[in-house]
Each structure stands twice: as structure tokens, then as C-alpha cells.
Structure 1
């Protein structure tokens, strides 16, 4: 190779090396810096360039690294305003290219029938006239899907779709395929020995799907409801002495078709404990034991229940207040005796922390007035703080039925000895508008329309308005109740009723109007007294006088008196020791009342009822015994057919309405009596059928009579003395979502010749 050729080759290699180096220098290294005199923004339509630069965090003339350029691009993407972002350095110019997300023109829902647009709209975060964000839309899809899952439709699918409009706008459409309801097909229990599955299912709020699963909603699987059911089971067992009861776990599986759930509660019952010894000790010299020894109601041998313990603690604390000893805490100290399965209870009186209620803050009550909630507290601002009383107040607030959720917490106030009670409630509908019908063998088929409101105008007042019309009577009634009259535990009620009857047992019609205000108040822990005044108008009219089929002379004479007004004063005392809810509901109901007529018509109407109920055979069978009676005595005037007692199936089954009692010997008109007495023994028990069918059985025996016509106007009267009747029968109960149905099949054991008996009774009640 010549010298010239060598130089040419060397120049070529140097040139190629230079080009490679130049190409490598065009790829910025992470540590390379740039300075720009100009920034060029492309693709923006709505967003101003200055705003984009602010989001990017880059200023003209500023020296930046490649890493800072990447960070600037990420800042722009994170705003959610841009579908894409590119930052390209070009000499002394920085080019920022963006593609903006469209603006949402409107939001629509398609395919939804079970959940309305308004409810779905409250779930989504995407908003009309705001920039579309796919992440937010995806979260909206998840929220809607979860709402359907909570409603039992786990197969529901939701798709967000965009419909393009002009000017970079879109309609956001959520297309919904709701699917079917995923019901609870089966609820099972493992580990239960003392109570049957049927009994335990009645404790749960979740129900198995049954014959009417297309109507009821409690057979829909909801996870939150299952969690509440676990607590309900625990409360059920512990209130019956099973102090070690625990729900080990709840197995929830889908059926193969994914249209139903199988729920299994795995429980450990433990042993049932009863009460051993009950005693009181005091750590406070000013609280001597002898002042409290008779307060507890727990007795040796009784089944242990936390509810009874709480009731004793409340009694002890009330006794301390009566003695003028504040800040007393009664702590139950329990000693377990595994050998005989008893628990010794000792209430120890000690000094409670010296704390006061600084204030009670209430939130969430948009309709309900604060005072309605405050009325449920026994403590007010400035009173000694008592945590147990606060818990009891929470229970009373929940029992009102005005709120879907009640959360009460306490916190320290302005000083360590000051406590603030925070009450957070979520309101729910409290009014009911009902149209329906019912049927019973006494009155036939009736159409019913009613409206009731438990929290009228947010004042905690109750109103109830009802109209009923049947082939035999028409009834109108209106009742108003103020449960905290004058801010005290005093209820004020105002009742008005109108009744017009077409009496098939005699050829006459009756009309009754009654107006009665009353006051009710507690007189003991389980006793309540109600006092009232009443004004009543009665009339007997449309008495047949065709000479061929005239009614009894008694009816004719009473009708000649025309419409009569009577005023009266009265009282009713009620003692009710029955328990409801999860506690054993054995107990007694006693009721006695008297009404005294004043003015031109003077009378005394006395009524009494005693009823006892208990559950046996592991609470599978209910036994009930009831005795009831009444006596009407006149000082001035005499009773009429509108005043006297007639015994329908509510009192004694197996007879027609007006089927027993004093009767005109010639016309056989039922005349009623001034006295009645009945005794009823009955039982209810499960049938060997799947519980989801809602069937149960019963048997009963009724014994009683009605007698004493009073003024007979010379008519010959049958059965005017006490003439006992008795019936025996069986019942079939069918608890349906359409209403409870009861079928009674009866056989008279004791009946008189002119009595009107029947062997079958049907009662239906439904609303729609």
C-alpha cells in the first residue's frame, strides 16, 4: 500500500470513529444535563400551557437532568388529566406532547332494575363535566359490583363503556348484567348438642331459602349479616348458661351452579352453668352490706345469664343513689365450680372513678330531634359518669327502631374527670303505608288500609291510622302517642275509633264511636299503670219490624233508647315479666283494669287477664296457659247489646261468632252477657317438615262461658246462668312472607243445643 493510500485509509477510520462518537453522544446518559431556552407544548386543548408547565415542574432556562425529565413526565401522568405524555428535548427547545383525557358529558346506567339510578349514582366517584379518569371508572365498577354482591347477586357483571361526543367529550355508560340472587340454600350447625338446628336457625337473622324465596330478602347471603349472626348465637347460648360457648368458624361455600350458598356454623357449646351462691361484699365503709343484701334477684339454682347479672348491677347502683352514695361500682366476681357446674356470684361494691358527664354530642340525626335521643339517657350533663348506664342507653336507642346503626363512644373531655359521650346514628325509614286484606271466620274477608309512623316529624311520636271494611263491619281508628310527655317517662296517648257493624246474628245494626286520651307510666320494674278518660257514643238502628222476622224484644227495647253518650274514667295495670329476643321468654303477663261510668249512665266494667308461657324440650315446644274474665255492673241504667260481652274465636275457639251465651228463646238472637270467664291451654310445636317451609303445629283446649243478660224486658232467655262450654282442637300454623296463616280444627266437648259450633277456622293476614 502506498503512503497516500495509507493516509486515505486512516482518514476513513477516523471519520467512522467520529461518527460513532457523535451517535453515542445523542443518547443522553442519566447524568447528562440540559438547558432549554424554549418550551413547546403540543396536543393540549383545554389545559393551559402554564398549567402544564406547573404540573411538570420545569421552568425555561433551567438546567435539568434526564432523570428530572422522566420525573416531570410522571408528574403530568399522575394528574389523571392526560392519556399519554411524551417529553422530547430538541436542541434548545423542550417539546412536551400530551393527549388529554376527554371530559365526561353525562353518566348513565343500563341494565339495572334491582338497584336504582339514584342509589348507583351515589356509589360512583366519576362526575359529569369532569375529566374522565380510567382508574376512577374502574373503582366505580368495583363499587357497583360490590353493591350487587351485598344484595346477594354475586354473579352481577359491570362494564364501563365510553361513547364519544364532539369537542373531546364522552358519555360514561355502566352496562350492568344483574344476574340472579345467590340465596342461602342451607344453614347447618356442627357441634350443637343441646339445641336443634331448627331452634338455632330461628336465632339467626339470615334465613334459608324456602317456598317464597322470590319474596323474602333475609335468605340473601350478606357477609355482614353472617358476622352479626355469630354474635347472636353467642348471646343466645350465654344467656342460657353456656359461658364457654364459642363459634369456632363459619364455612361459606358456593353451590356448583354458583346460585346459592351453603353456610355451616361450627360451634363449641361447652357446659351449662347454674347459679351457686349469691353474696355481696363492700370495700366502702359508707356502703354497708346489709343495705344491699336484699337487692339482687339472682337465686341459687337458676340458670346463669349475663342479662340477669346486668339487671342486678343496675338495681344495686340505683339503691346506692337512693342512699346518697354516688360513684359506687358493683363488680361481679365469679367463681367457677366445675365439679357441680355452678358459678358463685359475689357483687363487690367499690369506689368508681370520680368522673362526670361533660356533654353528650349527637351526630347523624338529620330528622330526629336531639331530645328524642337524649330522652333515652338516664344521665345528663353534670351527672356522675356510669359506663354501664351508657351501654344501656345505647340499647334503648337501638330499640327505638328509628336508626339503622347506633354507635356510642366516650372520650376524655376538658379535664380527666370530665367525659364526653359521642352518639353517632344513621337514620332509617320509620313510616309504613300498607294496603292489604285479612280473613277470619268471625268477620269474614276485610280490606285494610293503614298508615303508621313511629317517629312523626322526628319527635319520637307515633301515629297510627287504619281503615278496615268487611262484610260484617267497618272500622276507622286513629291513635297518637307521645312517649315522653313533659320530658318524663310518661306516655300520652289519644285514641279515636269508629265501628259500624252489620250483625248477622240478629236483625239490627250497631254504631260505636269512642274518644279516649290516656296517660301511662311505670310503677315498678315490670309494672305499668295507665289512666284514661273516655267518651263513647253507641246506637242500635235498622231494627227489622216487618212483623214476620222481628228481632228479640230485648233488642227492640234497647234500640228504642236511641243513640246514647257515656263518659267514664278508668285505669289498667299491667305486669309483664316475659322476655323477648335472645333471652328465655318464659314469664307471666298480668293485666287488670276497671272503667267507671259517670253521669247519667253509671257502671263499673272490670277486666282481668293472667297468662303464663314457657318453652320446654330444649325450647322446641311452647306451653301457654291463659285465664281471662270480665264483669259489667250497672248502678244507673242497664247494659245494651253494644256494651255486653260476646265471645268470638279470640276467646274460645270452636263456636261461631255470637255462637254462645244468653239467647232469646223465641228468636234465638244472641244477646251477649255482662260477665264472661275463659281458660285456655295451648301448645305449639315443630312438625317433621323442612323448617324453610314455615309450618308448625299446635293443640289446644278452651273452657269458658258468657252469661248474665241483665234486663230481659220479659223475654224468655236461654243460658242466662253460667253454662260452661269446652272445645279441643289442633292447629296448623304457616308462617309465610304474605302473612301468618292459622288453621284450627276443633271439636266441641261441652256445648248447648242452641249453640252455633264450627269445626274449622281460618285466619289470614297479608299486606301488599
Structure 2
């Protein structure tokens, strides 16, 4: 009997040993069928049925539970045609090959939301198990689903639950940051496989020298303990020997921050960055070493020792292999230059890798744009010479290619001859890659502006290596014609929609136009109401439509500013401004300005409506009170302006109309003045209209580099407008800016004035033309160039001409300092004298311009070429200050 029992036990033991893996595998392969949850709520929450079912599936899958596809479960349940209960759930799940069925309900009462689930053993060998979670608001559904999924995973797998995760050894790295990378979760299923993944994930963070994970049993499940040993932190970063580069600049650039984890590779990288920073400043021989210093509590300090050496410049640039172009022609293309007598001015002789890499690309482009399609420019070789660095650049020019034919094929929307006329590349031209790009852009722009948003223009370039020619064919696929559907504006919490829409120049239903989108972006930026503007075209509801999404970020448009300034014309000034450029979100502008100075006091209150009656017509009102001390008298004026601005069909051109009403008093007349000047003492009233036609294409209002500014104004005062003053004043202004070599700018400016008194009114002296000073004829005293009477008093002119010629050049690019050399000429005459261009005063001089923190600065010295006895030989003039 005992023998039989021994044999039976042995057989059972062998069976367990042999079949245990299979049993474990079967347990791991448990399949689950998740059924839609019932919803109990007064609100229509039917979408939650599918949402919770899908979220449970996704959560259980991540926990290693195999879930029957939801479509199969839902179709099998629908085929039964009966309400779901526990019996039906077991039946359907069993038919689908599932081991367990999960059913449940969603209940929402007020703000409370709960999930109630049951796990059903299909074979009925286990009693149903329940799980319940509760939260607040529908936003908690995802969190609740995650919590209940962990309970269900434990129930269907029969595995142990993780009760607690404990982390030790971490001082700087938060425990939550470590837990965030773990797959093992408190309340979730315990799995050795997940523990192994967690170990790898913690190592991957890169913060630790050692990581150990241990597990222990507890009445509530497994306790997972993670012990880490943190890598030392960099507590101090010091620099020694740096004189040319500020410590803060070094700290900002090397990327090695305090309290960061110490990484030897990061320290070596910091060394290289410091070396590069010095080499970019010309210190090519710089040496940088680092030292690691042990600090208390296991932290480290990093000390960089810098031996700067002497500045080393590019002494010579050698170009090898160039035959078609001389060295001087190619060096003009490059930003890097050789040290010479103009180095202080050009500042191009410092060797910078980034700039040198751009030079290689510039040389490549230069060759490609002159027909050399196979040219190759090699990487510069740098050697140390006696007087500095020698750069050697090898060039393989290859043959030069000429354009043999130019064609346009595909879907044409205008006659081919008109398209070909738009293309600048012509047969017989040398191949030019840049011009080819411009031609592609021209064709693309033409189609895109006629509604073909998805046009494709592909150049086919066929080389003939034997004849060294290239045939070009622009192949056009226009695509469908597209119309603007919806224009959606978002982010404008203050600015009204119509203020934005009226600037767009496009509307729903318009034909698509790429230029319209770019112009809208430019006009919205010009408003200066927004920190950021993003215009994104997206596909519309129909294939032939496109939506335009405009997202803006509002910025503060109110401003309170104060400033100070000084000029040789106005002496010391204190200025203040209170303004709002987007009043009530309507785009209206209101402004109060005040200037208090030694010679001038000005107060101005202005209001501007940029779109009168929602039309592109501006309207404004100014009220002012000005006091000004002139050489021979003082003027006090109180008045106002009404302003209108109208668009014109001409690009960059507007017409302005002003009406001015002013009452001015001339007082404190010089006691030594003659009868005419003394006769001007008194009160005058001006009622006048002024029309201004202006075209302005300048790229900037201060330190302009290109474009022009041209305007002509005509002012009429007197009957039938009323007032004591009666005159006509015409002033024409023209300024042209031409960019030249070495970032210099050549400037031509001219001004012509004509003034005529009407017989039925006065022409006060302050309306006449006086020249001299920093804004007209430099070198002459302010308003000192004027016709004189027999007593030598300045009486002002009715005719005026000024011409200014300038050459502007960069002095210190990084500081934004610009130098000026100028020649001024001009004069003013009485109406009886007329324009006498043989009688022009002249001056020359130099100056500097700088956009300083206090506002635009001009410092100029003028020398009079045709000095008269009453003239100073020269004048130093200075003006700085503005609102900031």
C-alpha cells in the first residue's frame, strides 16, 4: 500500500514538473471579452459606452492581458438580440473563446461619476468578482478607467497586485520623476518582466551610478523597493584667465549648468565651445583645460583654465584652381577677408568657422550662377603662418554651360508666349541657378495668385556634356482651382474680429491668392497689436476650397513713456507720452505728448480712426499748444488739425488732407531788430487746407538702407477759409537710398519750396523759409540761412532749395554705429530774387548715427565752404532722445 502511495506521489510530482510551464503559459494567455457598459444618467452620455470600452481595452493590453477585438464582441452581442445580463455575457464570451467576461455600468449623479465592473469566469469555476471606483466630473473618466483596469487585470490573471513602490537614495531627483518612467504601478499587476523593463528605464534616465530593485510580500500585495545612487552634481562652474570674454557669456554658451548631473563628455564639449568662442574672436591659439574639484556632500566643481594667447587674424587667402575668375573677384564674394589697412572698417579678418562655411557656399553659388554647373569648392585648409592664418581653398571649376533652349509645358493658363516673356532666363544666357529659382517662383506666383494653390512647377534640366549646353523645360501641373472657404480667427481676446478682417484684403469665396495671404500677414504685423501672428491655410470642406486659420496672440498696446534728450537746436528736453493704439479693441489710437525744454514747450492731444465708417480712410484730430523761442522772437501757438488719409491705386502711395486752425502770437521781438521784424509782433490766425501726396518705400525710418521717400504738399490759407493769414505754400521732398559695397549706403535728398502771399491777408515771418541746422544745411547755425534786409536782420524767404548728399558706412556693426560723410548745399530767397541756383551755400562734414537706449542719436560736424562775415566757420551739432 505504501509502495502504491509512493508511486502515486511520484507521478503527481512528475506531472507538476512537466506541466507547470504549460499551466503558467495558459494562465498568461487568458483572454477577456469586454462588453459595453450600461450608462445611468439624466444627461445624454451614450458616447461613453464606446469610450470606456476602448479605454479598458487599451489599459488591459498594456498590462499584458489579451482582449478579444471589440468589434467581434459587439457584433456577437447584437446577433443575440437580447439585453445584456451575466448569463448572456458568459455565453457570448465563451463562444468567442474568452476565459473571462467583463461587464459594468457608468453612473453620473450631479458631478459624481462612478464605474462599477464585474469579472465573470466563463466556466463558472470562480464566483464573480467586483470592482468599483468613483470620481468627480466627466474629466475624471480616464483616471477612473485606469484605476479600475488595474483591479480587473489582477482578477483575470490571478497575479499579485503591487501594493507599494518605495524609492530611496534619491536626493535631487524627485521620486515622482522616477515613478513616471515605471511600467509597474501601485495597484497594478506585479510582473517580473515589467520589473526588468523598469530597471532599464531608470538606468536610461542617466542620473544614477547604481540602481537596485527588490520585492517583498505584504498582506496587501507586493512591495517594490527601488534603491538608487545618484551621480554627483556640478555645484560650481568657475573660469580662470578669461579677460576678453565675460564670465556670464561663457556660462551662457557652454551649456554646463549648476546642479546638473556630472558627465565627462559634457565637460569636454564645454571645453570645445570655449575654444570656438575665442577663435571666433580671433584668438586662434587659445588653450582650455578643465579640472574636476571634489566638494562636500559628494558634489563636484568644474574649473576651466583659459590661456587666451594673442589675437591671430587671417593674413592670407589662397584660392587654387580658379581660372575663369580672378582671386580679387572671388574674394569680393566672401565675407571673410584678409587683414589690411581697411580691417578696422570692414571687420572681416577674424576667422569664424560659421562664416567660413557660408563663404564656401557663396563661392559655390557664384560659380553655379555663372554657368559652372559642375563646379566644386573644397573645405578650407587652415595653416598657421608667420603673420597669421592662411586659408587655402581648392576649386574645381569644370566646363561652363550655356542655355540652349527654354520651354514651358503642361497646363498653361495664359498664352505660352506671355509665359515665356515672364521668364528671365533666355537661350544664349549662361546657366544661372539663382535666376532659375526666381523663374520658378514667378511661375508659381502667377498660378497661385489665380487660384491654383497646389500648382507644381518642375524644371527639367538636360545637360549636353559634349557641347556644354543645357536645355530647360518648366513643366507645369496646375491642379484644381481653389477658393477661400472659411477664414477662422482665434486668440483675439481684445481686438474685434472686424479690425482684423478689414486688414486681410481677402474674404470668404474669393479665389485663392498666395500674395493675398502674405499681404494680410504683413498688414496684421504692421498694426502692432499682436505678439505673434500665424496664418495657416488648410484644406476646406470641399476639394476645391481652402480654409485660412489666423491665430494671434494679443499684446499690451497702452504705453506710458518718458524720455530725455538734447539737441543744439532745442537745448535740453524732457518728453513724455501716454498712448493707446488699440482703444477698446477697435483699432483707434489716442495719444497725449508733452515736451518741456529750454527753448521749446509742446503739448499735443491726438485721436486717430484708421478706418472711417469701416472704409480704408483714416481720420484724425489734433489739439496743440506750442511755445518756441527763435533767434529774433518767440512764438506761442494754439490750434488743431483735422486729418484724413486716402489710399490710391499706386503701391506704397497715400493721399493726405489736413485742415489746420491756429492762433499764434509773436512776442519778445529783439529790441535791436529793424522795422520789419518789429512789425511782426502781434496775433495771427491761420485757417488752411493742406494736401499731401506721399510714396514711401523705405525699409526703415532711421538708418535707412534702401528705398525712397517722395512727397509733395500744397497748403492754402486765407479766403474763403477765414483767418488773418493768406498764403500758398508748396514743398516737394525727395529722398533716395542706394545700397552699395561693404554695406555702405549712398543717399540723395532734395527739397524745393515755394511760398506766395495773397493780397487779402498776412504772411507772418514764422511761415517763411529759414535754413541751417542739423535737418537742412549742416555747419550753418539753426535758421541762419535766409534773405536779409538792409539792417542785416534775417527776414525769411519765399523760395527755398536744399540738396543733401551722404555716404553712410558701418563703423561698428555689432553696436549698430553708422558713420556719415556729407555734402549739403542750398539757400532761401525772396520772391523778388526768385530761385538763384548760382547763389547756393555749401558745407561738408562727417557724423555718426546710433539708435541709442535714449532714442536716435545724431552727432555731426559741418564745415562751411563759402563762409560769409556773419557765418561761423563750422558747427558741431548733436541731437539725441526720444520716447522709449
| TM-score (normalised: structure 2) | 0.53
1:745 to 861, 864, 868: 861
Indicate the SS of the match to 1:642. Answer: helix
Give the whole-Å Cα distance in 2 for the aligned partners of 1:65 and 1:656: 92
Write out aligned runs for 1:371-450 (5 A). Answer: 371-430=498-557, 432-450=559-577
Q: Contact 2:452–2:480 (CA<8 Å) still a contact in 1?
A: no
The CA deviation string for residues 269-307 of structure 1, in whole angstroms up to 9 with x for no partner, is: x99x9x999999797898457888999999999997799
- Kindly indicate whether the alpha-carbon contact (under 8 Å) linking 1:39 and 1:96 is maintained by their aligned counterparts in 2: yes
* 1:363 pairs with 2:478: no
The 5-angstrom pairing of residues 605-684 of structure 1 reads 605-616=729-740, 618-635=741-758, 636-649=760-773, 650-666=775-791, 668-684=792-808
SS of equivalent residue, structure 1 residue 665: coil
Match of 1:492 among 596, 603, 619: 619
Q: CA deviation at 1:356?
A: 1.6
Aligned to 2:594: 467
Which of 692, 697, 719 is matched with 2:819 structurally? 697
* Residue of structure 2 equivalent to 1:106: none
Equivalent of 2:841 in 705, 726, 730: 726
CA-to-aligned-CA distance 1:82-139 (integer Å, 9 cap, x gap):
xx9986446x78686999xxxxxxxxxxxxxxxxxxxxxxxxxxxxxxxxxx9xxx9x
- Give a deviation string over 1:159-195, Cα, whole Å, max 9, x none: 59xxxxxxxxxxxxxxxxxxxxx99974999998335
Deviations 1:662-713 (A, max 9, x none): 23433x44222222111222212345xx644655433222111112278xxx
| Distance (Å, rounded) in 2 between the aligned partners of 1:307 and 1:475 | 54
390-399 or 296-305: bigger deviation? 296-305
- How far off its partner does 1:532 sit? 2.7
Evaluate the alpha carbon distance shift between residue 567 and residue 297 of structure 1 in structure 2; reply closer, same or farther with a 3 A threshold: farther
For 1:414-471, what per-residue CA distance to the aligned partner results, in whole angstroms no more than 9, with x for missing partners? Answer: 1211212222334445555432222222222222223455544444444544322221
Shift of residue 743 of structure 1? 3.2
Question: SS in structure 2 opposite 1:193?
Answer: helix
Q: Distance in 2 between matches of 1:298 and 1:159?
A: 60
Matches for 1:200-599 after TM superposition, within 5 Å: 287-288=414-415, 353-430=480-557, 432-503=559-630, 505-543=631-669, 549-560=671-682, 562=683, 564-578=684-698, 586-598=706-718, 599=721
Q: For residues 766 and 651 of structure 2, what CA distance do their matches in structure 1 show?
A: 37
**CA 1:414–1:65: 2 relative to 1, 3 Å:** closer
SS at match of 2:766: coil
Measured at CA, do residues 509 and 594 of structure 1 come closer, stay the same or move farther in structure 2, by a change above 3 Å?
closer
**Which 5+ residue runs of structure 1 have no aligned equivalent?**
1-28, 44-53, 76-83, 100-133, 139-147, 161-181, 200-207, 210-225, 252-263, 711-717
Alpha-carbon separation, structure 1, partners of 2:470 and 2:841: 47
Whole-Å Cα distance in 1 between the matches of residues 479 and 159 of structure 2?
A: 74
TM superposition shift of 1:358: 1.4
Instruction: From the superposition, tell whether residues 610 and 38 of structure 1 become closer, same or farther in structure 2 (CA, over 3 Å).
Output: closer
Inter-partner Cα distance in structure 1 for 2:550 and 2:711: 37
> How far does residue 508 in structure 1 lie from its aligned partner after superposition?
3.8
The whole-number CA distance in structure 2 between the counterparts of 1:495 and 1:315 is 43
Structure with greater helix percent: 2
> Mean alpha-carbon deviation: is it higher for 618-627 or for 675-684?
618-627
Take 2:471 and 2:654, find their aligned partners in 1: how far apart are those partners? 33
Give me the whole-angstrom Cα distance separating, in 2, the residues matched to 1:343 and 1:464: 62
Partners of 2:415 and 2:439 in 1: how far apart?
Answer: 20
In structure 2, the residue corresponding to 1:555 is in which secondary structure?
A: helix
Query: What is the CA–CA distance in structure 1 between the aligned matches of 2:496 and 2:378, rounded to whole Å?
Result: 41
Tell me if the contact between 2:805 and 2:823 (Cα under 8 Å) persists in the aligned partners: yes
Q: Distance in 1 between matches of 2:409 and 2:830?
A: 61
Offset, 1:659: 0.9
Q: CA deviation at 1:361?
A: 2.1
Deviations 1:321-363 (A, max 9, x none): 7xxx999979697989999x99999999985522221112233
Whichever of the two has the greater Rg, that structure is 2
The answer (yes or no) to whether the contact 2:726–2:763 under 8 Å persists in 1 is no
CA deviation after TM superposition for structure 1 residue 733, in Å: 1.0
CA distance in 2, matches of 1:65, 1:664: 108
SS in 2 for 1:375: helix
TM-score normalised by L of structure 1:
0.60
SS at match of 2:516: helix
In structure 2, the CA distance between the partners of 1:38 and 1:407, relative to structure 1 (3 Å rule), is closer
Q: CA deviation at 1:637?
A: 1.0
Paired position in structure 1 for 2:47: none
Instruction: Indicate if the aligned counterparts of 1:295 and 1:316 stay in contact, CA closer than 8 A.
Output: no
Looking at structure 1, the residues matched to 250 and 509 of structure 2 have their Cα atoms a distance apart, in angstroms, of: 43
In the aligned structure 2, how far is the partner of 1:419 from the partner of 1:152?
A: 45
- Inter-partner Cα distance in structure 2 for 1:294 and 1:249: 38
2:619·2:645 contact (CA, 8 Å) conserved in 1? yes
Cα RMSD over matched residues? Answer: 6.7
C-alpha change, 1:407 and 1:413, in structure 2 (3 Å) is same
Q: Using the alignment, how far apart are the partners of 2:253 and 2:558 within structure 1?
A: 28
Structure 1 Cα separation of the partners of residues 513 and 788 of structure 2: 63
Larger RCO of the pair (alpha carbons < 8 Å, separation 6+): 1
